[in-house]
Each structure stands twice: as C-alpha cells, then as structure tokens.
C-alpha cells in the first residue's frame, strides 16, 4: 500500500463515508484512480454496512461521471468547430445509433471515463445517460460487494 495511505491520519478519513464518496467520485473522473480497493477495505471493517457502502460508492461514482458529461457538454461547441468534417459527422451518427448503449460499460477501467465525456460532447439525452451509467456502475459495486460476502 502506498506510504501516503498508511499515514495514520489519512486512513480513518478514507474509511469514512465522505472518504468513500470522494474516492468514488474522483475514480469516475478522468483521473487515473480506482475506488474498488476502498470498498474492499470498508467491507472488512467489523461494522461494515454493505447497503450504505454500495449506495455511497455508487452515488459518488455516478456523480463523477456526471462531471465528465458536463465537461463534454460544455466543450461540445469547441470540439465541433475544430472537428466539423465528415468523419466527425459519421462518428456522431454512430454514437447516436450505438454508442449510447456503451454507457452501460462506463464502469470499465480506461474506457469508461472517456465514454462519459464523449456522451456529453455528443449531447446524449441526460436522463438516458444517467439511467445507463447508474445501472452499470451500481451493478459493478453490487457484484463486488456480493462477491466478498
């Protein structure tokens, strides 16, 4: 475990609800960070509340994806100005046809976070975005928790 995480003042905070929420939130951003390790550590605590761990981790992770969506949505005009060619139009058509369902895979490492950014750039309907991302990310944490029971 990295030295920073073994610091006695940081670990209790990480093992708190705000620590889990923030870690899950940052893990869903474009930062290279994971949150599963913290879920596993919290599940090992004697007073572990599985349902609350699932809810807090899922909420933080989904809201981190909402941040990516918002960044993409905000940058969409700039991206379209710079990439107004036929290839960008084809990419947009492909995403609108198939890509929105790829948001069910937003929980995957490496590709999930950029998918949520692209969803914002492509102006995916937010309610559908939220439903698909929440389903995938909540299922991932749920399966992780069930696997460790």
Domain count, the chain: 1
Residue 141 has pLDDT above 50, yes or no: yes
**How many C-alpha atoms does 104 have within 13 Å on its Cβ side?**
3
Residue 1 pLDDT grade (very low, low, confident, very high; cuts 50, 70, 90): very low
> pLDDT-based confidence at 149, cuts 50/70/90?
confident
Q: What is the mean pLDDT of residues 37-49?
A: 93
pLDDT band at 11 (very low <50, low <70, confident <90, very high): confident
Q: Which domain holds residue 43?
A: 3-147
Q: Does 118 score more than 60 pLDDT?
A: yes
Helix, strand or coil for residue 135? Answer: helix
């Amino acid at each position: 475990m990295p030295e920073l995480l073994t610091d006695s003042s940081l670990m209790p905070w990480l093992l708190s609800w705000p620590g889990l929420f923030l870690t899950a939130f940052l893990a869903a951003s474009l930062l290279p960070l994971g949150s599963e390790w913290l879920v596993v550590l919290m599940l090992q605590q004697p007073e572990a509340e599985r349902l609350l761990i699932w809810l807090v981790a899922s909420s933080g992770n989904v809201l981190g994806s909402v941040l990516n969506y918002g960044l993409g949505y905000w940058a969409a005009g700039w991206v379209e100005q710079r990439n107004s060619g036929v290839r960008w139009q084809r990419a947009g058509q492909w995403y609108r046809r198939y890509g929105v369902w790829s948001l069910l895979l937003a929980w995957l490492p490496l590709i999930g976070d950029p998918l949520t950014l692209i969803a914002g750039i492509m102006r995916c309907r937010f309610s559908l975005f939220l439903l698909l991302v929440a389903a995938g990310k909540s299922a991932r944490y749920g399966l992780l928790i069930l696997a460790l029971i």
